[in-house]
Amino acid sequence: MSMRDDRVDAVFAALADPTRRRLLDKLAVQPSATATELAAAEPVSRQAIVKHLRSLDEAGLVMPSRTGREVRYAITPEPLEDAVGWMATVGAQWDRRLARLRGRLEAGH
Amino acid sequence: MSMRDDRVDAVFAALADPTRRRLLDKLAVQPSATATELAAAEPVSRQAIVKHLRSLDEAGLVMPSRTGREVRYAITPEPLEDAVGWMATVGAQWDRRLARLRGRLEAGH
DNA sequence: ATCAGGTGCAACCGGTCGGTTGCACCATGT
DNA sequence: ACATGGTGCAACCGACCGGTTGCACCTGAT
């Protein structure tokens, strides 16, 4: 059950870049797109987008599939759950500590 | 209500480093700790930890408070919600698109 | 066969990152 | 007064990142 650490690593790292998040935004609406298509709507070069898509792929957030001479990328949001899981854990622990502290205080110092 | 983009940026960037996540883990259990204390349990130097704590602070995930000659850091998990919010949005959009697609298919091509 | 569009590969650049070391500063206890 | 322990500042390093450009490659249409 141990949350794969390097996986979470890659997911957060991928999500840290605004361009990458925008790409995911697009792919969350549009079923799939090519790097060249996506680059047209972004202020950076196609190669830059390709690199971004590569790191999204390595994080498992996107899946490329070749059809003919073009490569279409589709979103795979499952890995987000690992990341959310970690956040939930930290949040829960924090809440628990707070509750314990509150209890101890109410118990009369 | 627009989700502050650079804030989300900083949060994800901060969460992208395993050492930083470990620090948050510790601070989610322990009420507060100094950089030197935290460094003792980590394989890196105190200065490295100080830098990590700085970026956690800039992301709003941690709050330093000086007492005497030492500086104690406490967790503030609220900013996590922005990040989780973004993920939820993407997930929801993705689900909605999927549902729409499914509906269109069931409508008999 | 040839031409065009899409993709892949590689080198390069400036900047940031994680980490280190050395040292100065400042508050505290004796 | 002084030594001690915690903190802060600054420089340095190798590695990686976001981005660019140029060109080679392959696929498909004419």
Contact state of A77 with B86 under an 8 Å Cβ cutoff: no
3-state secondary structure of B62: strand
| Paired residues of B71 in beta bridges | B66
Q: Is the dihedral of CA B84, B90, B94, B100 positive or negative?
A: positive
Write out pLDDT tens, residues B46-94. Answer: 999 999 999 999 999 999 999 999 999 999 988 988 888 888 889 888 8
Pair of tokens at residue A76: 């795979």
Please state, for a pLDDT cut of 70, what percent of chain B lies above it.
91
Contact state of B84 with A80 under an 8 Å Cβ cutoff: no
Q: Which of A94, A96, A105 is the best residue to mutate to test the B interface, defined by the most B CB atoms within 10 Å of its own CB?
A: A94
Tell me which chain A residue has its CA closest to the CA of residue B15.
A12
Please name the residue ranges forming H helices in B18-79. Answer: 18-29, 35-41, 46-58
Q: Is the dihedral of CA A25, A29, A31, A33 positive or negative?
A: negative
DSSP secondary structure of A56-80 = HHHTTSEEEEEETTEEEEEE--TTH
Cβ-in-10-Å burial (0-12, 13-18, 19+) of B73 comes to buried
The pLDDT value given to residue A96: 79
CA of B67 to C1' of C28 (A): 12
- Domain chopping of chain B, boundaries: 5-106
Residue B1: band (very low, low, confident or very high) from pLDDT cuts 50, 70, 90:
very low
Average pLDDT of chain A to the nearest whole number: 88
Return all residues near B55 (Cβ < 8 A) that are at least 6 apart. B10, B13, B14, B20
* A105 in B contact zone (CB under 8 Å): no
Domain B5-106 has CATH 1.10.10.10: yes
Distance from CA of B45 to the nearest CA of A (A): 21
CA of A66 to C1' of C1 (A): 27
Q: Is the pLDDT of residue B26 over 90?
A: yes
The mean-pLDDT minimum among A39-48, B10-19, B60-69, B87-96 falls in B87-96
Residue A104: band (very low, low, confident or very high) from pLDDT cuts 50, 70, 90:
low
Average pLDDT over residues A18-24: 96
